[in-house]
C-alpha cells in the first residue's frame, strides 16, 4: 500500500503511452483496459485541440505537439513520484535495531519488546542477536545491550541488570539429586556449562565454586552448551544444575519450573549494559526509557 503510485489521472496515462509507444502496453502497465486508455488520450487531445499520437498498427508514436507535452508531463510525473516517496519516508516511524546476545534476547528482551509493541503498535523493532560481541559497538544499530564490566563500555552506558547468579534446577532434579545444603555437594552433581572461547565475561561454574572454596574435577554427566538459552532448556529438561542469572530466569523461578538451590554470587561492576547510539531517534529513546523502567 505504501508503494502504490499516487493517482494523477490522465498525466500518468499519457506519460505511459508516450514512454511505451503503445496504448496496449500502457494499459497493461497501468492495470486498465485498452479502450479506457484510448478514451483518456482522446479527451486530452480534445482539450489540447490537436492530435497527440500517430496511431498505426505497429503502435502509437507521439506527434510534434505530443512530444512537447510528453516532455513536460514526464518531468512532472517523475517529480511528483519522488516527492510522494520522500513524504512517505519522512512520516514513517523508523525501525529500531537493538543488538544483544542470544540468551538476553530470548529470556529478557523479547518478552518486553512484545509488551512495548502492544502499547505502541506503530513501532518496528528489529533484534539482532549474536554470541560474537567483540565488534558489537561498531554495528549499525540504535542500541546495544551487552554483558561485561563497567570499563568495557563508554561513559554513557547505563547498567540495566547487575550480575547476580544462583544455581538453579527443576524440582524433579532436586528431588533426585538433592538436597544441596552446601556448595560442596555440587562436586558430584551434573552441571550445565555455558561454553565460551577465550576469557569468560561472566561467572562460570569454576568461579562460582572457587568463590565458595570448592575444588571440583569435571564430573561424569556434565554438559556444555554454546548459548545460554540452551543451558536453560537443558536445566528444564533435568539434565543438570545451571547457573541462573537473576533477571533472565525470573520467569521460571516465579512459575516454579526452576528453583534456586544454592547461595548467590553478586558482582556490582558487571552485568548487562545499555549502550544507546548517540543519534538514536525519539522512537528509540521511547523504547529504551521503557525498557529501563522495566528493570
How wide is the angle at C-alpha 278 spanned by C-alphas 276 and 280, nearest 5°?
70
Whether the predicted pLDDT of 43 surpasses 60: yes
CATH of span 10-91: 1.10.10.10
User: Which residue, 17, 1, 24, 9, is CA-closest to 80?
Assistant: 9
What are the residue boundaries of the structural domains of the chain, listed by start? 10-91, 96-294
Q: Is the pTM of this model over 0.85?
A: no
Query: What integer is the mean pLDDT of 85-103?
Result: 71
pLDDT of residue 242: 94
Query: What integer is the mean pLDDT of 176-197?
Result: 86
pLDDT band at 6 (very low <50, low <70, confident <90, very high): very low
* pLDDT, averaged across the chain: 82
pLDDT band at 1 (very low <50, low <70, confident <90, very high): very low
pLDDT band at 121 (very low <50, low <70, confident <90, very high): confident
Q: What is the pLDDT of residues 223-254, one digit of tens each?
A: 888 888 899 999 999 999 999 999 899 999 99
Query: What integer is the mean pLDDT of 200-228?
Result: 83
Q: What is the pLDDT of residues 14-42, one digit of tens each?
A: 888 888 888 888 888 888 888 888 888 88
Domain 96-294, CATH class in plain words: alpha beta
Whether the predicted pLDDT of 116 surpasses 80: no
Q: What is the pLDDT of residues 125-153, one digit of tens each?
A: 777 777 655 555 455 677 788 888 888 88
pLDDT of residue 141: 74
Query: What integer is the mean pLDDT of 49-54?
Result: 86
Amino acid at each position: 500500500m505504501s508503494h502504490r503510485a499516487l493517482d494523477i489521472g490522465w498525466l500518468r496515462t499519457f506519460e505511459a503511452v508516450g514512454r511505451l509507444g503503445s496504448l496496449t502496453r500502457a494499459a497493461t502497465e497501468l492495470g486498465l483496459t485498452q479502450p479506457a486508455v484510448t478514451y483518456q488520450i482522446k479527451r486530452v487531445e480534445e482539450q489540447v485541440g490537436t492530435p497527440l499520437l500517430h496511431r498505426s498498427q505497429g503502435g502509437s508514436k507521439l506527434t510534434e505537439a505530443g512530444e512537447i507535452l510528453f516532455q513536460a508531463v514526464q518531468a512532472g510525473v517523475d517529480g511528483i513520484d519522488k516527492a510522494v516517496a520522500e513524504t512517505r519516508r519522512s512520516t514513517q516511524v523508523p525501525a529500531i535495531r537493538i543488538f544483544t546476545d542470544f540468551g538476553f534476547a530470548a529470556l529478557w528482551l523479547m518478552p518486553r519488546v512484545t509488551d512495548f509493541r502492544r502499547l505502541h503498535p506503530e513501532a518496528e523493532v528489529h533484534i539482532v542477536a549474536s554470541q560474537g560481541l567483540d565488534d558489537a559497538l561498531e554495528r549499525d544499530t540504535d542500541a546495544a545491550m551487552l554483558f561485561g564490566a563497567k570499563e568495557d563500555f563508554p561513559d554513557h552506558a547505563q547498567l540495566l541488570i547487575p550480575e547476580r547468579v544462583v544455581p538453579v534446577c527443576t524440582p524433579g532434579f532436586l528431588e533426585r539429586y538433592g538436597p544441596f545444603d552446601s556448595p560442596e555437594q555440587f562436586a558430584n552433581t551434573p552441571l550445565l556449562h555455558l561454553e565460551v572461547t577465550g576469557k569468560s565475561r561472566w561467572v562460570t561454574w569454576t568461579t562460582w565454586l572457587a568463590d565458595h572454596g570448592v575444588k571440583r574435577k569435571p564430573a561424569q554427566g556434565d554438559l556444555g552448551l554454546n548459548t545460554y538459552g540452551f543451558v536453560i532448556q537443558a536445566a528444564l529438561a533435568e539434565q543438570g544444575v545451571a547457573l541462573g542469572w537473576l533477571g533472565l530466569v525470573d520467569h521460571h523461578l516465579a512459575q516454579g519450573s526452576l528453583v534456586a538451590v544454592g547461595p548467590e554470587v553478586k558482582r556490582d561492576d558487571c552485568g548487562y549494559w545499555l549502550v544507546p547510539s548517540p543519534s538514536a531517534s525519539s522512537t528509540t529513546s521511547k523504547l529504551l526509557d521503557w525498557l529501563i523502567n522495566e528493570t
